[in-house]
Structure 1
C-alpha cells in the first residue's frame, strides 16, 4: 500500500534507537523527509547512517527532549531544513523501573519531564507548522501500561496516562487541521526490554535473558514479542492520508495482550 508520504516532513523525537528509530525508519521508507534526534552523538550518527539509503532525506539533531529550549531549537532546525513540518511523532526514553515504595520525588518529577513535558514542548513548538500543513498529524508513542498497569513500573504506569489525555484533547482542539493519535506498544525487542530483563535478573525473578524474554511473551496471544518495525509501520500508517478519518484514538500494538 502506498501511504503517499513522499515529500512530507516528519519529526520523530527520541529516535536514535528503539521504537522512535523504528518509526523514523518506516516514515523514511515511505518517502518522508525525517528528522531524528537524541542525546548521544555516536548513537545519533549511527541512526542517521542507517537511514541514509531510504527514499526520504534525513536530518539528525542532537537534542535533550527534557530541555524546553532544545526542543524549540529542534523544531526550528526542522523547518529551516525542509521548509515546513507535516508530522510529529513523540517518543521518549524509558523511566526507572521500580515499585511505588521505591520511587523518589526526584524520579517522579524526572518521569513527568521525560514522558509528558517532552511531548508538550514538542507539540507547542510544532503547532503553527502543523496547522500550515495540508496533512498535519501527531502520533504519540506511549505504552500498554496506560490501559493495564505493568508490575514493577509504577512511574510508567502512572505518568504515561497523562499523554493519552493530552492526545484526546489535542485531537479535538486542533481538528480539523491536525489529527492526533497515540500508539500503545506492548513488548518489542528493544534495548528497553533488555534493560528490564536485566533488572529482573538482578532481582532474582528470572535466571537468564532467554527466560526473561519468554516471560514477556508468555501472555501474548501471538506467542512472541514484537519487532520494532511492526510498530513503526503502524505509526507511518497513522501519519498517512490512508488514516484520514482516524483521530483521537489510542491504538494498541501488542500482539493481542490487552484484554480491554
Structure 2
C-alpha cells in the first residue's frame, strides 16, 4: 500500500534506537525526509546510516537531549532548515527506571515527567505552527500499553505516561482539522528497552535469567511472540499518512493481544 508520504518531512524524537528508530525507518521507507534524533553521537550516526539504507528521501541526524527545552526546539529548527517544511512529528522517549510505588523519591518522579511528558509538550509547541502550514500534518505519540494496564513494577511509566495520552486527546481537538493527533501503545517488542527491563528484574531477583524474562513476556501474548519493532514503525507511518485521514484522537494498542482491557 502506497502511504503517499513522498516529499513529506518528519521529525522523530529519541529515534537512535528502539521503537523510535523503527518509526524513522518506516517513514523513510515510504519516501519521507526524516530527521533522526539521539543523545549519543555514535549511536545516532549508526541509526542515520541504518535509516538511510531504506530511504528514498533525505535523512539527517541531530543530537539533542529531549529533556532540555532549547535542544528540543533546536530539533524543529533543524528540520525546517534541512527540509523547508515539517509535516509529521513522532514523539518517542526512553522509559524511566522500573520501580515499585514506594521505592521512588520526588526527584525520580520529576525526571520521569520531564522525559515523558514535557519533552512532548515542548516538541509540539515548537512544531505546531509548521505542522499546520501547507495543508496540515500529523502528530503520533509513542507511549506504552501501561497507560491502559498499569505494571506494578514500573510505576513511573504506568503513571506519568497517562499525561501524554491526556495531551494527545486534547491536541486532537485543539489542532484539528489541520493536524491529526494520535498515539500508539506498544506492548513488549524486541528492543533495547525490553532487554533493560528484563535485566533489572534479573538483578532484583525477580527472574532467574534473561531467557526466563523473555519467556515470561511472551507467555501472555496470544500470538506467542514479542513484537517486531518494524510492525510498530509501520503503524506509526500509517497514522502519519493520508490513508488514516479519519483517525484522530485515538490511542492504538499494539501488543499481540496481550492486554485484557476492553477499552
Bucket of the pairwise TM-score, normalised by the shorter protein: over 0.9
Shift of 1:206: 1.5
Shift of 1:133: 3.2
Structure 1 match to 2:56: 55
Matches of residues 1-260 of structure 1 in structure 2 within 5 Å? 1-53=1-53, 54-260=55-261
**Contact map agreement 2:85 2:130 (CA 8 A) in 1:** yes
| Distance (Å, rounded) in 2 between the aligned partners of 1:133 and 1:153 | 41
Matched position secondary structure for 2:213 = helix
**Residue by residue, what CA displacement relative to the aligned partner does 1:67-107 show, whole Å, maximum 9, x if unpaired?**
00001111001001100100000000110111111111110
| Distance (Å, rounded) in 2 between the aligned partners of 1:56 and 1:247 | 27
**Residue by residue, what CA displacement relative to the aligned partner does 1:44-82 show, whole Å, maximum 9, x if unpaired?**
000011122221210100010000000111100100110
**Contact map agreement 2:131 2:179 (CA 8 A) in 1:** yes
| Distance (Å, rounded) in 2 between the aligned partners of 1:135 and 1:21 | 24
Q: Aligned residues, how many?
A: 260
**Residue by residue, what CA displacement relative to the aligned partner does 1:191-244 show, whole Å, maximum 9, x if unpaired?**
010011111111112212111001011111111110100000000000000000
TM-score by length of 1: 0.99
| Distance (Å, rounded) in 2 between the aligned partners of 1:93 and 1:241 | 28
Shift of 1:134: 2.0
Gaps of 5+ in 1: none
Shift of 1:150: 1.1
Moved >6 Å (runs of 4+): none
| Distance (Å, rounded) in 2 between the aligned partners of 1:174 and 1:246 | 14
**Residue by residue, what CA displacement relative to the aligned partner does 1:138-175 show, whole Å, maximum 9, x if unpaired?**
00000000000012100000000010000000000111
| Distance (Å, rounded) in 2 between the aligned partners of 1:24 and 1:135 | 20
| Distance (Å, rounded) in 1 between the aligned partners of 2:206 and 2:174 | 45
TM-score by length of 2: 0.98
**Contact map agreement 1:135 1:241 (CA 8 A) in 2:** no
